[in-house]
Structure 1
Amino acid sequence: MDIELLQAQVGLWNLTYGYLKTMSLKCALDLGIPDAIFNNGQPMTLSQLHSVLSLPPSKKSHLYRLMRLLAHIGFFIEKNASACSEPVYDLTAQSRLVIEKNDSANMFPFVRCALHDIWLRSSLFMGDWFMRDSEQNPFELANGSTVWEIVSQEPVVNKMFNDAMVSSSCMFNDYIVKYGDEIFKGIESLVDVGGGKGAMAEVIAKNFPHVRCTVLDLPHVVCDNPNDGIVNFVPGDMFNYVPPADAVLLKWVLHDWSNEDCIRILRRCKDAIPSREAGGKVIVLEVVVGSTSAMISEEPQLLLDILMLTVAEGEERDENGWKYLFTEAGFSSYKITYAIGFLSIIEVYP
């Protein structure tokens, strides 16, 4: 067997068992390992970690095997142990993102939601879905309902989903604050369509007081949100009506929907804003596939596209796909800024 074939076999092996990286991450979060190391205030030995997690004595050697893999893929740091000492574990930038006490960049709710059974089951039905001439997507085949039906009917899932959306906003907040003077120049009012609990709108309102922020979302999403004067919450359906404002914000909304539905949403947004000369625009925060050649940023774009294939009716679009939507919805031009990792800011003008 030649070297090329051996390398191909190794690559295939890694693809075949790559899901165990994800499951090991889920296990680490279920056990609370990142928080345990963080709360300790310094790196921890295997024995310390085993003790703090209150695991049975029989699981100590298996904990080492779990930590060895997670350190190998860069989620933890393992300091080499000598022949007479134990390995010591510390956090990395990745594992710090899932510390629950990390208020500035806490991705724990997002990751916890992404690794819930209802999403994981969907991927098992991809092959079956491809072979069926059916309107049901893999999520519906796996769970018996659409994602939106489950979110609206099951309070636990609804909370988990909305907490995840709040968590995802932390990726955008610093950029919005840093470059908001340009983004919100001349804008006095903004509607965050599908803005959930208002995390992004609150950041905008607090840092740019001249912008009056409103969140439009479904009644079961906004029913418990207080209208405290910082952000105004309006229950409604974006397919039917968007409140008038100088600008409309769509963060991770359009990728959930088909081209036809996106055009309907965008037309409602266009109806809500003034002309370009009067400062009207739609601000879209989404993936633009192919906007980066960096592997670390390109791969999440493609993975998110397959996620949309399995759980919703949408997709992650390249620039031509976005251009088609904006043109069909009646917009005259757009500007893309590649700014936030694998995500982009698109300013769309009537």
Structure 2
Amino acid sequence: MEAKETLAMVKGQAEIWQQMYAFVDSMALKCAVELRIADIIHLNGGPITLRQIADGVDSLSPDIPYLARIMRLLVRKNIFIEHHHSVDDDEETLYGLTEKSKWLLHDAELSLAPMVLMENHPWLLAPWHCLGQCVKEGGIAFNKAHGCGIWEFASKNLEFNNIQNNAMACTAKIVARGILAEYKDEFGCLGSLMDVGGGTGKLIAEIVKAHPRIKGTNFDLPHVVNTAPLHEGVSHVGGDMFEVIPNADAIIIKWVLHDWSDESCIKILKNCRKAIQQKSGKVIIVDIVLEKDRNDLFDETRMAFDLLMMAHTTGGKERTELEWKKLLEESGFGRYKIIKIPALQSIIEAYPD
């Protein structure tokens, strides 16, 4: 075997090993969030020792050698950073935050910690093991793992409902920043805005905070809005988007349509169209738009989300622009415009015929 061929074989082997154990990164990340390592460092005001991290962990007898091995991997992945300095002729290692670990702070204004906990929870990992079965015989991975769909599961399981609501709330605040940065002028003419599938109302609350004259409504399933906190200028309304959606000047629907099949999306969008009373009304879709040759910071994650929809939803998927265009046309929206924002998602502004 030639040296070039041998090198290619070894490289292929190494990459398969790396992919095989990619889950280790997720588990170490989850561990860091559960132990609140980033929060412990942050509360101390700067880099601290392993012993200080251990003292901050909620445990009477933390295993420091275990913690050291986890931190070694997280430093290798640039989640945390090591600082070395000498104390009485002994070298001491301190651990500090990076731009990555700042996203793991529980009480930060913008945080992905709740999302890390949700996506790596055993309840949401179980359906991934059913993907091969789904390819062979069809069906829904989440149903195969749990005996029902994700929304029914959430309605019956208060703990999971809370985990899911917290995760959706944290992403809503992040996406709201991107929306308000790139789309802020488009809200000024609206008297009322309906957030369909708005969860606990974080997104609509951020929009109304920036545009107080808007009458904001958060619309979601009763078991979701029943646990939603109060937001100034926002009303919570429980209902079913497949049945009827309350009237508004415009509708915003964030990260909802990717959860559903084309047939279900058409039902939702037709109900959105009925809810828009004025001719100037529009539907503001905030969702991923897949692009074949797009190579930005979020491209790999967008592709991963398409398989996430296979694992967790009833026929959901991420869509290309052509797929969005077809969906909108079949729902009575003859015109649309895509607006890029600094986030995983884009804005698809759709106008009824």
**TM above 0.5:** yes
Contact 2:333–2:351 (Cα < 8 Å) also in 1: yes
Q: In the alignment, which residue of structure 2 is the partner of 1:260?
A: 263
Pair 1:34 & 2:38 matched? yes
User: Where in structure 2 are the equivalents of 1:192-231 lying within 5 Å?
Assistant: 192-225=195-228, 230-231=233-234
- 1:202-247 C-alpha deviation (Å, 9 max, x unpaired): 1111211221111111111112446766111111100111111110
Q: TM-score by structure 1 length?
A: 0.92
> What letter corresponds to residue 77 of structure 2 in structure 1?
I
Cα 1:71–1:110 shift into 2, 3 Å:
same
4+ runs deviating over 6 angstroms: 54-58
Q: In the alignment, which residue of structure 2 is the partner of 1:90?
A: 96
Contact 1:171–1:340 (Cα < 8 Å) also in 2: no
Shift of the alpha carbon at 1:280? 0.6
User: Where in structure 2 are the equivalents of 1:12-161 lying within 5 Å?
Assistant: 12-53=16-57, 59-80=63-84, 84-102=90-108, 104-133=109-138, 135=139, 137-161=140-164
Q: Secondary structure at the match of 2:337?
A: strand
Q: 2:217 & 2:62 partners in 1: Cα distance?
A: 54
Contact 2:33–2:116 (Cα < 8 Å) also in 1: no
Contact 1:292–1:298 (Cα < 8 Å) also in 2: no
Question: Where in structure 2 are there 5+ consecutive unaligned residues?
Answer: none
Q: 1:127 & 1:266 partners in 2: Cα distance?
A: 31
> What letter corresponds to residue 335 of structure 2 in structure 1?
S
Q: In the alignment, which residue of structure 2 is the partner of 1:286?
A: 287
> What letter corresponds to residue 242 of structure 2 in structure 1?
F
Cα 1:65–1:227 shift into 2, 3 Å:
closer
Pair 1:186 & 2:189 matched? yes
Contact 1:292–1:342 (Cα < 8 Å) also in 2: no
> What letter corresponds to residue 199 of structure 1 in structure 2?
K
Q: In the alignment, which residue of structure 2 is the partner of 1:333?
A: 335
- 1:104-144 C-alpha deviation (Å, 9 max, x unpaired): 202222221111111111111111221124x3x11111112
Q: Secondary structure at the match of 1:79?
A: strand
Point out the more displaced range, 170-179 or 260-269: 170-179
Q: 2:118 & 2:66 partners in 1: Cα distance?
A: 26
Aligned length: 345
- 1:17-65 C-alpha deviation (Å, 9 max, x unpaired): 1111111111112222111111111101223223333668783233222
